[in-house]
Amino acid sequence: MKMNKAIAALVSGAVAVSGMAVSAFALDTPVVAKLGFTDSTWEHQDWETSVEVTGDGTYTLTSDVVAGAADFGVFVIDFDQMFANYPDAVATLDKIEVDGSEISVSADKILYGDIEEKGNFRIDIYNMYSDTKDDPGVNQATAVAESLSVTFTVSGLEAAAPAETEAAPAETEAAPAETEAAPADTSETTAPATGNASAAAIVAVMAVAGAAAVISKKRG
């Protein structure tokens, strides 16, 4: 019974290990993608709608501030200092939606890069002050009744800033084995002291004496 308890304690005291490698990616310098939009009359503008770019992936900017715009005057996406801080990173236009419907885009006519030479990466969709004015990739006369959405994909950030992997130290705790040995079951057996040798001698003497007495009576 005691041994069974000791074995059970050893089994239950198996080493427990906690802690796992945690992979976390974080940009050294944050990147913010910001919409730059105005119609040709500068009546409907949005230079504030933005999204934080936390790593490689697909993002969408949506603005309803430009509702009522009759056309595109300036339509760009600027990635604040991404070209300066992450020169190998790029962003590519995936689609444009106006009032919930995707519009046609000629991908090869969209301009990319540090176009203004300010360290920002830019997606130049249409700009009445740039080369896209003469050869636009979208229909500049598109009106916006309610909302404008732009979806794009960023890549190359994580290659420029590798993820740090930190392994949490393993916590090992072994329950002490409970070993309690059963006391040895020793029952002492002591042979009782007997005077067998002396008793036998006495009996023998008495027998001889009795026999001698009988013989003497017969002779008398």
pLDDT of residue 174: 54
CA 122 to CA 34: how far, in whole Å? 10
pLDDT exceeds 90 at position 157:
yes
What pLDDT, in 10s, does the model give residues 12-29? 443 333 333 333 467 888
pTM value? 0.63
The domain ranges of the chain are 23-165
Query: In the chain, what percentage of residues exceed pLDDT 70?
Result: 61
Residues paired with residue 112 on neighbouring β-strands, in sequence order: 123
pLDDT of residue 99: 98
The Cβ of residue 183 has, within 10 Å, a number of other Cβ atoms equal to 7
More confident residue, 5 or 105: 105
Instruction: Look up residue 118 and give its amino acid.
Output: K
What pLDDT, in 10s, does the model give residues 124-152? 999 999 999 999 999 999 999 999 999 99
pLDDT exceeds 90 at position 55:
yes
- Weakest mean pLDDT among 9-18, 103-112, 159-168: 9-18
Residue among 2, 6, 3 nearest 176 (CA)? 6
Give yes or no for a contact between 87 and 29, defined as CB atoms under 8 angstroms apart. no
Give yes or no for a contact between 8 and 175, defined as CB atoms under 8 angstroms apart. no
More confident residue, 191 or 106: 106
